[in-house]
A and B are shown apart, each in its own frame.
Chain A
Amino acid sequence: MITLDNISKHFGNFTALSGIDLAVRDGEFLALLGPSGSGKTTLLRIIAGLAFPDEGRVSFNGEDVTDLKVADRKVGFVFQHYALFKHMSVVDNVGFGLSVRRRGQRPLKADIRARAHELLDLVQLGGLGERYPAQLSGGQRQRVALARALAVEPQLLLLDEPFGALDAKVRKELRRWLRQLHEQMGLTSIFVTHDQEEALELADRVVVMDKGKIEQIGTPEEVYMAPRSGFVSGFVGDINSLAVTVVDGKTRWHDRMIDIDPDGAADGPARLDFRPHDVALGAEGSGSLPMVVTSAYRKGGDWRVEGTVGGAARVIEVDLPADGPQPRAGQRLSLRIGRGRLFREDEEARR
Chain B
Amino acid sequence: MIGSTHQRRPVRSPLLLTLALGFLAVFLLLPLITVFVEALAKGFGEYGAALVQPDAISAIKLTLLVAAISVPLNIVFGIAAAWAIAKFDFPGKSILTTFIDLPFSVSPVVAGLVYVLMFGMQGWFGPWLREHDIQIIFAVPGIVLATVFVTFPFVARELIPLMQEQGRDDEEAALSLGASGFQAFWRVTLPNIRWGLLYGVLLCNARAMGEFGAVSVVSGHLRGLTNTMPLHVEILYNEYNFVAAFAVASLLALLALLTLVLKSILEWRYGYNHGSAGH
Contact = CB atoms under 8 A, between A and B. Distances in A.
Nearest to B179: A100
Given A97-B178, A100-B178, A152-B177, A70 B276 contact: no
A134 B173 CA distance: 17
A83 B169 contact: yes
Interface string A45-85: 00011100000000000000000011100011101010111
A87 interface: yes
Interface in B259-279: 276-277, 279
B173 A71 contact: no
A81 B169 contact: yes
A22 to B, nearest CB: 20
A79 B191 contact: no
Interface stretch (B4-12, B144-152, B180-188, B232-240): B180-188
B97 interface: no
Nearest to A76: B176
Contacts of B169: 79, 81, 83
Nearest to B171: A83
A70 B172 contact: yes
B196 to A, nearest CB: 13
Contacts of A165: 279
B177 A79 contact: no
Contact of A75 (B170, B176, B187, B191): B176
Given A100-B183, A100-B187, A134-B276, A83 B172 contact: yes
Contact of B176 (A70, A85, A141): A70
Contacts, number: 68
B176 A48 contact: yes
Contacts of A101: 178
Given A85-B188, A87-B191, A87-B192, A71 B176 contact: yes
B174 A100 contact: yes
B187 A79 contact: no
Interface in B192-236: 192
Secondary structure class of chain A's binding surface, majority of residues: loop
A62 B207 CA distance: 59
Contacts of A77: 172-173, 176
Contacts of A76: 176
B180 A71 contact: yes
A86 interface: yes
A12 B277 CA distance: 34
A50 B180 CA distance: 14
Contact of A71 (B178, B187, B276, B279): B178
Contacts of B174: 85, 96, 100
Nearest to B178: A71
A76 B173 CA distance: 9
Contacts of A71: 175-180
Interface in A238-286: none
A231 to B, nearest CB: 30
B185 to A, nearest CB: 12
Given A79-B169, A81-B169, A100-B183, A69 B175 contact: yes
A84 B166 CA distance: 12
Given A50-B172, A85-B191, A101-B178, 18 more contacts: A48-B176, A49-B176, A71-B176, A76-B176, A79-B169, A83-B169, A83-B170, A85-B187, A86-B192, A87-B191, A87-B192, A96-B174, A97-B179, A100-B177, A100-B183, A134-B276, A141-B279, A152-B177
